[in-house]
A and B are shown apart, each in its own frame.
Chain A
Amino acid sequence: MLGEDILDPYGGAFKVTKGMSSRWPERVLTTPISEAAFTGIAAGMALRGARPVIEIMFGDFITLAFDQIANHITKFSMMYNGGVECPVVIRAPMGGGRGYGPTHSQSLEKHFIGIPGLNVAPISRFHDLDSFYSHFILKESRPTLIIENKKMYGQEYIGTVTEHRIFNVDLKGGPIPSVLLTPVSTGKADVCLISYSGGGDIAIDAAEELLMEHEIHTSVLILGSLSPLPLTVLEEAITDVSQVVVVEEGSRVSGIGAEIAAALMEQCFHKLRAPIQRITSGDGIIPCAADKEARFLPGPKSVIDQVLRMPGVS
C-alpha cells in the first residue's frame, strides 16, 4: 500500500488506511508528494509480482499519474504480448458535496474509461466490501482504478441486502455485480435510473419520491463496473421501461452517460422507447459554498424534474 500521509497515527486524509501501518509497518509505505513517482513505483512492483495498492489522496490528483496509467501500467501486458502482468490497484476518492472546491471535488473517472486494459470499478454502499476489494487486489490480472465517492466515508454501510426502503435489491452479473433496485410492490418499473457509487444515493432518493409522490415506478441500477460496461446487465435493466436516465456527478460532455447511451444504442436500440437522458453536474468549476455547490452538482430534484418532463411515462 503506497500513498501520501497514509501512516498512523494520521491514517490517510480519509482514514481509510488507519491502523494498517501499525499492523503491517513493512507493507504500508508513505510517499513524498508525487503521484507520478509512487504510481510508477507501484508499476515496477506489480511487474515483479507484487500486488500494490495505491491511494490517490483526492481523486483530482490522479491527473498527475495519468502518464503512468495511460502509457505504462495499462500498456506493459499488451506491449510484451502477455508476457508480463501489471495488476496495480489505484484507489481514488472522487466526488463533491463536501465544500472542498474546484480541485478537490471532481469526478474524473470519465477520463479513464476509454483506456484499453484498465478496469474502472466504482464501489457503492451496496457492494460487499470484502469481495469487491479482494477481487481486484488479489485476483485481477489487469490494473484497476477503484472509484470511491468520498461522501460514502461518512455514511452508514449497507452491504448485501435483499430489501432497501421501498425497493427489492438484486445483484446482477459478475464477477463484481451491479445492484438493481426495483419497486417492492410490482418489481416492475417504467423508468430506469442508471448510476454508480455516490450517484446511486441520488437515484434512490429520486426513485422513491417518483413512486411515492407521482406513482412513477422507477428502478435504479448501480453499476459495479464502468469499464468494461456490463452490457448484459444494462440491457436487462432497461428492458420494458419507457425511459432511461443516467445519473452521474461528473461533467456532461464525453461522460459516463454518453458512453452508456452509445453502448445501449449499439446493443439494443430496438428496446429503447425514448432518447436516453443524462443528469450531470454543471458546466464549470465546482463551487466551495455549500448552497452553490448543491445547485451545481446533480441531486434528486434534477432527476425528478427530468423524469416528469419526459413524455410517455405512465
Chain B
Amino acid sequence: MIEVRLEQLDANSEYSVLVKWNYSDLAAVSLDDMICMVETSKAVVDILSPASGFLVQGLAEGDALVTGDLIAVVAESEEEARTIQKELRSQDKKRKKSAQAAHDAEENPASTALNITKKAKDLLNANNISPDVFKGMALVTERDVKEYITKNTKLAPSAPIVPSGKTNRVLIVTARVGGMQVLDILLNDPSVSVVGFVDDDPELSDSQVWDVPVLGTFKEIESLWKRDLFDSAIIGFSSNIETRKELFERCVSLGIPMANAIDPSVRINRACSLGQGNIICSHVHIGFGSVLGNNNFIGANSSIDHDNKMGDHILMGPNCVTSGRVEVGNEVRFGTGIFVQPQLTIGAGSIISSGSVLTSSVPANHVVKVNYSQRMGPK
C-alpha cells in the first residue's frame, strides 16, 4: 500500500480543503489518475495516484487538511483495501467521537475542559482541591483558587477578599493614631470612601478626624453593618496585638469583609499574596513570592524580601528588614529597625525588640532583647 499525503503545495497555504473525489471508495485506479482535487488559498490542485491499485479515501469532501495529512491510501488488492478502509473508518469514528465530546463540552459549560493557568494548577494540587469546583468558568487563575481557599477556610468563612479598584465604603475601627494612619493611606485611593470611625474613647464620640466622623463605639459595629453603612472594615490599632486580633475576629464573625490599606508607594512584587485587613505603610517593599496572612501591620520603610511567609496579627515597626525565605508565625511583635537573616523562623507570639539583628531562629513565645549600652551625659 502507498499512502497519499498532502504535500506543501505552495508557500502561502497553511490549510487546504478537499473539494472533490473523482474516484469512489475502493475503486480501481491507475498510476497518475487524478483521484481528487484539493483547494489551497491560491488554487485548486489535482492529486494524482502514486500507483495502480485500489483507492481508500481518507477524508470526506469538504474536510480541511494541513500539510502532511493523509488524503488516501492506494492498496495493492481489493482485500487489502477493505482492511485499510475498516481501520480508517474506526479511527475516524473515534476522532468524531472526541470531536463530538469537545463540541458537547462547548455547548454545556458544566463539562467544559477548563482553562487553568499553571500556577492555579499547582495551587489546586498543593491543596488537594478538585478542579471541578470551578466548572463553568472560562478561565481559572491563581487568584480564583486563592479566593476559593480563603472562602473555605475557618478564619473568614464569609469574608471575601475585597477586590481593589471597586468602589468601597470603609469603616475604620479606632479613631486614634492607628486609625488616622489608616485614613492617611486610604485617602490616596480614589476608589475608597472612608465612611467613618468607631472608637470607645468617650472624648472622641461625635467628633471628626480630618472631616471623617466618629460614628459610634465598637459595640455599634454590628448595627452599622446591618444598616449597610459600609462595605468593609479595617482595624487601625498599631500597638496592641490583642486588641487588633479581638476586633478583627469580631468583625469577621459578623461576616464583614476586611479591607487592606496599602500606601501607593508600597512595592509588591510578583507572586505575592495578601490576606485581609492588613495595613502596609509607605515605602514598604515586599519581595516576590511572599505571602502575608490577615490583620498585619507593616511599618513604613520595612522590607520583606522574597518568599517570606508571614502569619496573622503581626505588628512590625518601621524599618524592619527580613531577608529571603523568612517565616514569621502569628502575633509576632517587631520593634523598630530590625534585621533578620535569611531562612530564619520566628515562632508565634514572640517579641523582637528594636535594633535586633537576628542571626538564628526564634522559638514561639520568646523575647529577643538587645544587649548594648548607650551612654548619655552633658557635653
Residues of A within 8 A of B (CB): 14-15, 98-100, 150, 153-156, 166, 183-186, 188, 211-215, 217, 312-314
Contacts and interface: CB of A to CB of B under 8 A. Distances in A.
Interface stretch (B222-230, B267-275, B321-329): B267-275
Given A314-B270, A314-B272, A212 B12 contact: no
Contact of B15 (A99, A154, A183, A312): A154
Interface in B247-287: 267-272
Contacts of A14: 12, 41-42
Nearest to B118: A213
B11 A215 contact: no
Given A154-B14, A215-B117, A215-B120, A166 B139 contact: yes
B117 A314 contact: no
Contact of B141 (A99, A154, A215): A215
Contacts of A153: 12, 41
Given A154-B15, A166-B138, A212 B115 contact: yes
25 contacts: A15-B42, A15-B43, A98-B12, A99-B11, A100-B11, A150-B12, A153-B12, A153-B41, A154-B12, A154-B15, A154-B41, A166-B115, A166-B138, A183-B139, A185-B138, A185-B139, A185-B140, A186-B141, A211-B141, A214-B119, A215-B120, A215-B141, A217-B141, A314-B271, A314-B272
Contacts of A211: 117, 139, 141
Contacts of A215: 117-120, 141-142, 271
A184 B144 CA distance: 13
A214 B142 CA distance: 10
Given A215-B120, A313-B270, A314-B268, A184 B12 contact: no
A254 to B, nearest CB: 30
A98 B268 contact: no
Interface string B25-61: 0000000000000001111000000000000000000
B11 A98 contact: yes
A15 B41 contact: yes
Nearest to A99: B11
A188 B139 CA distance: 13
Given A14-B12, A212-B115, 8 more contacts: A14-B41, A98-B12, A99-B11, A185-B139, A185-B141, A186-B143, A215-B141, A314-B288
A221 to B, nearest CB: 20
B117 A213 contact: yes
A143 B12 CA distance: 29
B13 interface: yes
Contacts of A186: 141, 143
B269 A314 contact: yes
A156 B269 CA distance: 40
Contacts of B141: 185-186, 211, 215, 217
Contacts of A99: 11
Interface residues of B, number: 30
In the complex, which of the residues B11, B140, B268, B270 has the most CB atoms of chain A within 10 Å of its own CB atom?
A: B270
A185 B118 contact: no
A186 B139 CA distance: 9
What DSSP secondary structure best describes chain B's contact surface?
loop
Nearest to B16: A154
B270 A155 contact: no
A188 B115 CA distance: 17
A39 B350 CA distance: 82
Contacts of B137: 185
A14 B11 CA distance: 10
Nearest to B116: A212
B268 to A, nearest CB: 6
Contacts of B15: 154, 156
Interface string B118-130: 1110000000000
A314 B42 CA distance: 45
A183 B143 CA distance: 13
A308 B367 CA distance: 42
Nearest to A313: B270
Interface string B212-241: 000000000000000000000000000000
Contacts of B268: 314
- Max chain B C-beta neighbours (<10 A), residue from A156, A188, A211, A215: A215
Given A14-B12, A312-B269, A314-B272, A184 B43 contact: no
B138 A184 contact: yes
A213 B115 CA distance: 11
A79 B202 CA distance: 80
Interface in B134-167: 137-144, 165
A150 to B, nearest CB: 7
A275 to B, nearest CB: 17
Interface in B58-105: none
A156 B271 CA distance: 37
A266 to B, nearest CB: 25
Q: Which 6 A-B pairs have the closest CB atoms?
A: A185-B139, A154-B14, A184-B138, A154-B12, A314-B270, A215-B119
Contact of A155 (B14, B115, B119, B288): B14
Contacts of A154: 12-15, 40-41
Contacts of B12: 14, 98, 150, 153-154
A166 B42 CA distance: 31
Contacts of A313: 270
A153 B140 CA distance: 34
Nearest to B10: A154
Contacts of B288: 314
A73 to B, nearest CB: 29
A211 B268 CA distance: 19
A94 B138 CA distance: 35
Contacts of B139: 166, 183-185, 211
A271 to B, nearest CB: 14
Interface centre among B141, B267, B288 (most CB of A within 10 A): B141
Nearest to B270: A314
